[in-house]
Amino acid sequence: MRIDLHTHSSVSDGALPPAQVARAAKAAGLDCIALTDHDSMAGIPEARATGDAIGLAVIAGCELSAVLEHKPVHMLGYFLDASHPRLSSELAAIRDFRLRRAERMVATLNELGVPITYDRVREIASGESVGRPHVAQAMVEAGVIATTNDAFTDEWIGNNGRAYLEKTALSPREAVALIREAGGAAVIAHPIWVEGPVSAEELIRDLAGAGLAGVEVDHPDHDGQVRERFRALADELDLVATGSSDYHGNSHGGALGGNTTSPGALERLRERAKAAV
């Protein structure tokens, strides 16, 4: 059984609608995916309906935005109850802030001479969740930069960029608690990108005591040494080591099935989700 636990659709910053993500996953030889759009679960019903029709299991997931001392941390939630009142409320609040943040970011870019509009960013972001990749796509379209990755620099909208605006979001501990409250298992995403006053290792150790279930070890941005480092830490703390593509269907993330999670690891996550309720 081949399992990919980190995929995105056009509901957030992926290129394909949820149904097409499911079909692409099946074509890539996968048996199971988690759809983990940023701060939204709106694509789950569509992906699951298509998955049921073609023989692909779709896990209800989400990639929650969290902030640690002004720096982003992403937390993956699996087996979530999308109807959970507080989860629904928190996700809606985060998405609303994303809209206002993107609008202010565009205004700052305009002041820097970048000829893009917020209306065009919203058109590009056809789904519920608006993020920096949509702003980056508008910048590419306007001929300001060559690729979306070029936007994520100090010059533009990287974490220390001239047009970067800080997120208002949950703390990592709050995100873990919310995922558990909504019946899910929490896994820290691509920990190599954790920045701030504490290291990724220190943060994972802290979150392990707060109910963290796993660590995304095998990720396209992790080289062999990084994978060994986080796998050893997961083993030490009795956390589930997962693997995934972080698929977006564009220049971000990797290819579907490029990294996978074992069936045994998935079952451990399912057990921890049940224990959290």
pLDDT tens-digit series, residues 17-38? 999 999 999 999 999 999 999 9
Chain mean position to CA 128: 14
What was the pLDDT predicted at 214? 98
**263 pLDDT higher than 90:** yes
Q: Which CATH architecture has domain 3-84+171-276?
A: Alpha-Beta Barrel (3.20)
Q: Taking the model in full, what pTM does it have?
A: 0.88
What was the pLDDT predicted at 167? 74
What was the pLDDT predicted at 118? 96
Under the banding of pLDDT at 50, 70 and 90, the label for residue 203 is very high
**109 pLDDT higher than 90:** yes
Q: What is the mean pLDDT of residues 31-46?
A: 97
d(CA 117, CA 234): 44
Give residue limits of the domains in the chain.
Answer: 3-84+171-276
Q: What is the mean pLDDT of residues 90-95?
A: 93
- Residue bearing the bigger pLDDT, 130 or 272: 272
What was the pLDDT predicted at 130? 86
> Tokens 């990108």 belong to which residue?
193
**26-55: b or e for each residue (b if 16 or more CB lie within 10 Å)?**
bebebbbbbbbbbbbbbbbebbbebbeeee
d(CA 92, CA 98): 10
**70 pLDDT higher than 90:** no
pLDDT tens digits along 139-179: 999 999 999 999 999 999 998 899 998 877 799 999 999 99
